Homo-oligomer: A and B are copies of this chain.
Amino acid sequence: MSIQQPTFELRDEDELSLELIEAQYALKQSRDKKNAKSVLVLVSGIELAGKGEAVKQLREWLDPRYLRVKADAPQLLSNNQTFWQSYSRFIPAEGQIVVMFGNWYSDLLTTAMHVSKPLDENLFDAYVEQMRAFEHDLQNNHVHIVKVWFDLSWKSLQKRLDEIDASEQRWHKLHGLDWRNKKQYDSLQGLSQRFTDDWFMIDGEDGKLRDQSFAQYLLQTLRELPEHQTKVTQKWQQAAIPKALLAPAQASLEKEDYKDELRKLTKKVADTLRYDERKVVIAFEGMDAAGKGGAIKRIVKKLDPREYEIHTIAAPERYELRRPYLWRFWSKLTDSGKITIFDRTWYGRVLVERIEGFASTVEWQRAYNEINRFEENLVDSQTVLVKIWLAISKDEQALRFKAREQTPHKRFKITEEDWRNREKWDDYLKAAADMFERTDTDYAPWYVIATDDKYSARIEVLKAILKQLKAD
């Protein structure tokens, strides 16, 4: 599985420990700085090869206060949860090291080896590719990934199985594969050959060398962490601004017609959402005062609050800024129930963060593909994603801003910042155009609803949801 492997020799343990701690502290001190990083160590391999011992030894050599070991028994991959979902909460923050002993690879191998339903090789390879892509995105977002495979020959494995005592045997039996079965062993080894070539292989034969190789490899990694990419390599192709955004519809619905249609549609949306077996995520973006809040109110009109959750997204908190920008959405989706509505979303990366410079050029330019992969993972896991952009004209926005300012209980909705954003109207149009160009996918298309008429906008939103749920 690996093309070029570093080799390590035994060193003085105290010196190694000292150097590890120094490297760990340097990482810790990078927090909130320009080249801040975190390190995620994924550990996998043959049972009894000594993964556990190596991780324990590492904990002795490092400062344990700043090392988290997250170790779970493997779980089967499921078709309604992305492979990263149950682990996303434990993705390290800047400055941290997390060892995941029990991770998406152990889940994949367990699933592949599952006796009643073994995975076919194509599906296995597709998963490996998805994992590689996910890790690539983590790396770009400053979570450095280290993957270590602990290997052990069949003969040594059998010998070790003979030697361990009953309670350990029982434990290994409960949590692993049948390690007495040569065919299973061989097919596991075969599968691990299909992993990508960035795994570091450690031979579990010699305990001391095994532990030191693991620690020295981590040390080397900590010392050679790549700098954040800042160089813009591609020439940016600004997309053309869709006509609808430049000239939103002006036709307005009669109040009576609106009310009739609204009644029918809110009911149909509620029924459809309820009867659909999938999870549904509805994501709103659009200009300020375009009517996101009002549209959401109509979506949930015939639903009970126990059926949905609404997340109104504000600027990230400091602890969120220390992790990949998608992290705060991963965790919201992990807790979520059947229907989740986002009033502003992860697209902030390519909208406000692009325009205000909170994300560097490299970062926002890279984000489109990252977001596409994130959304594809969700959709592949039985989630329907409805993305809605609400557009109004600049004049209409001015009218609504002023109306808000003149209504005491709506004044909170409008601040100096909104007026400042308005000055960047054209930048937002450009950013939106690029976003549509790059993230309007088959699995998660954009619904652009451009009208100065509030009633029409709300009706269109409901229709868009029905359409994406294939219920229109």
Contacts and interface: CB of A to CB of B under 8 A. Distances in A.
A416 interface: no
Contacts of A70: 309
Nearest 9 CB-CB pairings of A with B: A18-B409, A17-B409, A71-B305, A71-B306, A65-B312, A167-B271, A52-B304, A18-B408, A52-B305
17 contacts: A18-B409, A52-B305, A55-B305, A56-B300, A64-B343, A65-B314, A69-B310, A89-B335, A101-B305, A167-B270, A167-B275, A168-B270, A171-B274, A171-B307, A317-B319, A318-B318, A318-B319
A312 B73 CA distance: 22
Interface in A290-318: 293, 297, 300, 302, 304-310, 312, 314, 317-318
A259 to B, nearest CB: 18
Nearest to A62: B412
A426 interface: no
The interface centre, meaning the residue of A165, A168, A170, A343 with most chain B CB atoms within 10 A of its CB, is A168
Describe A's contact surface by its main secondary structure.
helix
Contacts of A305: 51-52, 55-56, 69, 71, 101
Interface in A61-82: 61, 63-65, 69-73
Count this chain's copies in the assembly. Answer: 2
B304 A171 contact: yes
A128 to B, nearest CB: 23
Interface size class for chain A? Answer: 35 or more
Contact of A72 (B267, B271, B306): B306
Contacts of A270: 167-168
A60 interface: yes
A237 interface: no
Contacts of A59: 310
A292 to B, nearest CB: 10
Interface in A162-177: 165, 167-168, 170-171, 175
Interface string A326-354: 00000000010100000100000000000
B52 A306 contact: yes
A312 B68 CA distance: 9
Contacts of A56: 297, 300, 305
Given A71-B305, A72-B337, A168-B270, 11 more contacts: A18-B409, A21-B412, A52-B304, A52-B305, A52-B306, A55-B305, A61-B409, A65-B312, A101-B305, A167-B270, A171-B274
Nearest to A305: B71
Contact of A306 (B21, B101, B267): B101
A310 to B, nearest CB: 7
Contacts of A271: 167
Nearest to A338: B73
Nearest to A67: B312
A227 interface: no
